[in-house]
């Protein structure tokens, strides 16, 4: 069931078009992510949904009701800021209760709801502490608790984990998923971190220059990108531009590279061929090159191979350590079904 519908929304700032006839739908109860580079329109869309900005054209509805006619404070939407914006002079429980107190709810109900959310985030014992006495991860939990205690129908999160170090960020990714599931609230997160979006979201919308490039599940987005931008932006990829032939893709200077024949054959048209590094093997195949670099990451190694006739190296991910050395000559191969064809070239 659709909770939020964005239809043909455009927002301009002078000569800059932040949102360009953008449309998407967010389903009830899902964890939805907006992913894209800086300046792609993610935060502008978030501000439109929160009520801090109005589009020049288009419609936004929540369960069929016009959201744009409501001021920010009357929308069943809450926004968790990137900076957390906690009150430093208030205790944890006072920070969480602040919004409920402003709404004039009975004290007994406020105490009950604050107590429930403190238990959910695992900070009951820290209820009387102030933000300065908490770790970064704990402050993030308090900010999230303050947002969900008001029980919004939609919770917006702007780069929620960007202020955390890598280890705490990984822990909080799991925590966010758990809290979202337990709270039963629809989450919409804005991020430029691919790993964060892939690990958190049920579905992801990839934005570029104010437009939607693709909306899909993380697995489908990674395995079957529909545009060159998505293939290049989401994870590492080896991209080759050439012409589709009956038995492969002909790449200028490299020859014919293998791919699975499309369901609707249409030879002699421009295409991009995308092959993920983990699908490339150091084995006899159509490409030959020289090892430029070998990087070991513990569980995997990444090998960069320079191929004559191609400016960028071909990346190969190998499980564990590799025996090839920088300067060595190797051949590269992949299975045809592991190569993704992208129209346009």
Same domain, 328 and 297: yes
Two structure tokens written together for 156? 């917006």
Instruction: Give the pLDDT band (50/70/90) at residue 331.
Output: very high
Task: Work out the percent of the chain whose per-residue pLDDT is above 70.
Answer: 96
pLDDT of 206 above 80: yes
Would you state the pLDDT for residue 89? 93
**Same domain (yes/no): 108, 74:** yes
Highest mean pLDDT: which range of 98-107, 175-184, 247-256: 247-256
Asked whether residue 204 is assigned to any structural domain, the reply reads yes
CATH of the domain at 85: 3.40.50.300
Picking from 223, 253, 285, the residue at the C-terminal end of a domain is 223
* pLDDT band, very low/low/confident/very high, at 280 (cuts 50, 70, 90): very high
The pLDDT-based confidence of 266 (bands split at 50, 70, 90) is low
If you average pLDDT over residues 209-237, what whole number do you get? 96
Per-residue pLDDT, averaged over 218-242, amounts to 95
Asked whether the CA dihedral 50, 52, 58, 59 is positive or negative, the reply is positive
Specify the number of domains making up the chain. Answer: 2
* 243 shares its domain with 206: no
Tokens representing 32 are 């939805």
Q: Quickly state the pLDDT bin for 120 (edges 50, 70, 90).
A: confident
Mean pLDDT to the nearest integer, 103-119: 90
Domain assignment present for residue 196? The answer is yes
94 φ, ψ (degrees, to nearest 5): -70, -40
For residue 143, what pLDDT band results from cuts at 50, 70 and 90? confident
- Residues 137, 193, single domain; the answer is yes
Is 203 in the same domain as 318? no
Sequence-ordered strand ranges (E) for 192-280: 203-208, 211-216, 238-245, 248-251, 255-257, 270-275
Query: Is 141 domain-assigned?
Result: yes
**What integer pLDDT is reported at residue 168 of this predicted model?**
67
Whole-angstrom Cα distance, residue 1 to residue 14?
Answer: 36
CB contact burial 306-328 (16+ within 10 A = b; e otherwise): ebeebeebbbbebeeebebeeee
Please indicate, yes or no, if residue 255 is contained in any of the structural domains: yes
pLDDT at position 298 is 85
Q: Closest Cα to residue 117, out of 88, 78, 61?
A: 78
Residue 263 scores a pLDDT above 80: no
Question: How much is the pLDDT for 186?
Answer: 93
Q: Give yes or no for residue 242 having a pLDDT over 80.
A: yes
What residues have CB less than 8 Å from 53, skipping those under 6 apart? Answer: 11, 44, 47
**Would the pLDDT of 174 be above 80?**
no
Residues 256 and 200 in one domain: no
Q: Is residue 9 part of a domain?
A: yes
223, 246, 264 — which closes off a domain? 223
Q: Mean pLDDT over residues 334-344, rounded? A: 93
Same domain for 115 and 64: yes
pLDDT in tens, 45-68: 999 999 999 999 999 999 999 999
Using alpha carbons, select from 59, 51, 61, 52 the residue that is nearest to residue 22: 59
Least confident span in 53-57, 60-64, 121-125, 302-306 = 121-125
C-alpha dist (Å) from residue 163 to 166, 168, 169, 199, 251? 10, 10, 9, 18, 43
Instruction: Please check whether residues 209 and 240 belong to one and the same domain.
Output: no
pLDDT band (50, 70, 90) for residue 333: very high
Are 67 and 5 in contact, with CB atoms under 8 Å apart? Answer: no
286/199 same-domain check: no
Residue 183's pLDDT band (boundaries 50, 70, 90)?
confident
Q: Can you read off the two tokens belonging to residue 291?
A: 């090892």
Domain co-membership, 132 together with 33: yes
pLDDT reading at 229 higher than 80: yes
pLDDT exceeds cutoff 70 at 264: no
pLDDT(345) > 60: no
We report the CATH number of the domain holding residue 329 as: 2.40.50.140
Q: Which domain holds residue 188?
A: 2-223
Position 228 in a domain? no
pLDDT confidence band for 180 (50 / 70 / 90): confident
As given in the structure block, the two tokens for residue 46 are: 């978030």
Question: How many angstroms separate the CA atoms of 62 and 9, rounded?
Answer: 15
Residue 63 CB contacts under 8 Å (≥ 6 apart), including other chains: 2, 3, 153
Query: Does pLDDT of 84 surpass 80?
Result: no
pLDDT, mean over the chain = 90
Specify if 207 maps to a domain. yes
Q: Specify whether 179 is located in the same domain as 257.
A: no
Percentage of the chain beyond pLDDT 90 is 67
Regarding whether 264 and 132 lie in a shared domain, the answer is: no
DSSP secondary structure, 52-63, as one string? SS--SEEEEEET
Structural contact between residues 289 and 308, judged by C-beta atoms closer than 8 angstroms: yes
Q: Which of 223, 247, 271 is the last residue of a domain?
A: 223
Most confident of 70-79, 192-201, 326-335: 326-335
Flag whether 231 is in a domain: no
Residue 106 in this model has a pLDDT that exceeds 60: yes
């Amino acid at each position: 069931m659709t909770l939020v519908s964005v239809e043909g929304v455009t927002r301009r700032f002078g000569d800059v078009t932040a949102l360009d006839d953008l449309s998407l739908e967010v389903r009830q109860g899902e964890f939805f992510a907006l992913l894209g580079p800086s300046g792609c329109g993610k935060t502008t869309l978030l501000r439109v949904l929160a009520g801090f900005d109005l589009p020049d054209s288009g419609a936004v509805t929540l369960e069929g009701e016009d959201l744009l006619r409501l001021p920010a404070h009357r929308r069943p939407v809450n926004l968790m800021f990137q900076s957390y914006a906690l009150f430093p002079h208030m205790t944890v429980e006072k920070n969480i209760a602040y919004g409920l107190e402003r709404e004039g709810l009975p004290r007994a109900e406020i105490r009950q709801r604050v107590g429930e959310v403190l238990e959910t985030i695992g900070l009951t014992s820290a209820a009387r502490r102030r933000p300065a006495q908490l770790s970064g991860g704990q402050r993030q939990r308090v900010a999230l608790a303050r947002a969900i205690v008001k029980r919004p129908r939609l919770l917006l999160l702007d780069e929620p984990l960007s202020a955390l170090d890598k280890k705490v960020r990984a822990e909080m990714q799991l925590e966010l998923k758990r809290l979202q599931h337990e709270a039963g609230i629809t989450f919409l997160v804005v991020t430029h971190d691919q790993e964060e979006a892939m690990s958190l979201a049920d579905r992801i919308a990839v934005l570029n220059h104010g437009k939607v490039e693709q909306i899909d599940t993380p697995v489908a987005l990674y395995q079957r990108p529909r545009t060159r931008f998505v293939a290049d932006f989401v994870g590492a990829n080896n991209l080759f531009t050439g012409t589709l032939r009956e038995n492969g893709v002909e790449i200028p200077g490299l020859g014919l590279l293998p791919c699975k024949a499309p369901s609707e054959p249409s030879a002699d048209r421009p295409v991009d061929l995308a092959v993920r590094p983990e699908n490339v093997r150091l084995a006899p195949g159509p490409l030959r090159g020289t090892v430029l670099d070998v990087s070991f990451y513990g569980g995997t190694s990444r090998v960069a191979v320079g191929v004559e006739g191609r400016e960028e190296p071909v990346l190969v991910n190998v499980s564990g350590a590799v025996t090839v050395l920088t300067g060595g000559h190797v051949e590269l191969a992949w299975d045809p079904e592991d190569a993704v064809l992208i129209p346009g070239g």
